[in-house]
Amino acid sequence: MDDIKISLAGSRLCFNPLQDTADIFVKIEDMLRKIADFLPHTPVTSYGINFAYKKKLGTSDFINMGTRLFESIKNGDNDITSEQIKYSFKYKEAMLNFNVVETVDEDGKILMEMDFNFNHQVENLAALKGGIDDTPISEYLDYSDELVGKTIEDIQR
């Protein structure tokens, strides 16, 4: 496939879209359903949906961005389940693991990397299938995009 990179990472099967479009997410969901139908007894304990963002910011913007993203997530219908360098929240049927890291790019500019990992605990592939039927991958992307977009707008005011 020209639009999806499929790889094995240890015991994980990874589907990496080369573009973030709804059509590609639907293709990934269809492949997951076919795998679940073809290999129904394959042991599985979880699946994750991940999105990463990079944004060049000044130091004060980085601090504001992380704080505001945290507040945006916390103020929704989300219960905080732990507080560490990364935060974990309950989002729908998933555990949202949210991480913000400040790095420096090759030009010496501050770069903020944000990682959203929506992790689902499942007992079998039928539960995985049900999960992607209930909440499509594009819905998680829309939620992540909305949080990041609103927060960037807020700190740039």
**Interval 37-60: pLDDT, tens:** 998 888 889 999 988 877 665 555
The number of residues making up the chain comes to 157
> Which of 8, 10, 9, 27 is CA-nearest to residue 18?
27
Which domains are seen in the chain, by residue range?
4-155 (3.30.2030)
Longest alpha-carbon distance in the chain: 53
Residue 152 has pLDDT above 50, yes or no: yes
* Predicted TM-score (pTM) of this structure: 0.71
Residue 19: pLDDT band (50, 70, 90) is confident
Contact predicate 98/69, CB 8 Å? yes
Phi and psi based region of residue 108 (left: phi greater than 0; alpha: psi -120 to 50; beta: remaining): left
> Which of 129, 108, 127 is CA-nearest to residue 28?
129
> Which of 95, 89, 86 is CA-nearest to residue 120?
95
| pLDDT value for 60 | 55
| pLDDT value for 20 | 80
Amino acid at 113: E
How many Cβ atoms sit within 10 Å of the Cβ of residue 73? 19
What's the pLDDT tens digit per position in 102-120?
667 777 776 777 888 999 9
Task: Determine the Cα–Cα distance for residues 87 and 36; give it in Å rounded to an integer.
Answer: 31
Q: What is the mean pLDDT of the chain?
A: 80
DSSP states along 106-139:
TTS-EEEEEEEEEEEE-SSHHHHHHHHHHS-HHH
| pLDDT value for 81 | 43
